[in-house]
Amino acid sequence: MNKTLVLIDAGFLSKLSKYLGNGKYLKYDLIKFSKKLAEKQNLDCKHIFYYTAPPFQSDNSSIEETKRFRNYEKFISNLSKDSSISVREGRCQRLKVDGKFIYGQKGVDALIIIDLMSVPIKYKEIKKVILIANDSDFVPVVKSLKEWGIEIILYTHYSKKRGSSFSRSNELLRTVSKYIQLKKEDFPEM
């Protein structure tokens, strides 16, 4: 069986988990989830890359911010104990818009792109990569990897309804070698 790498945009996967869980995050084993998706493509999961950002911490962190950060550290520490997964961290940005704070990940997509571009150099035996994401920012790197003979299999979730959290340009779907809509059944329960 051919080997693959699984690259996961944690922000996207978290949002999808809450959506599929009807407002509650699904509880599932991330490593089993990744390996199951690889097996569905008749591939063996060589390694998992998990891209995330720690929760925002203000200069004088609130009790809630501190609690959220401790939970995050515990999760990442437990995840990092497994040698089959690497955690890559961007940062969390907080902006005040119309009197409300909004939070967003910064640098995560860049980390994914860097790792994707390193596949032909660091993982010469890998010819198919699984990407779990929904961002059209990945279109140029996917096109470039095709020139290297590397296929990208996209696991995503999308909606044709404009304004939906999962609406997107079809360009990413057209660019990848294959795409599969993620469903609740894809998440193995803990």
- pLDDT tens digit string along 22-50? 999 999 999 999 999 999 999 999 999 99
CA 31 to chain centre: 13
pLDDT digits (tens, 9 = 90+) for 66-111: 999 999 999 999 999 999 999 999 998 888 899 998 888 889 999 9
For residue 188, the model assigns a pLDDT of 85
Q: For domain 2-186, is the CATH number 3.40.50.1010?
A: yes
Please state the pTM of the whole predicted model.
0.92
**Both tokens of residue 124?**
């010469």
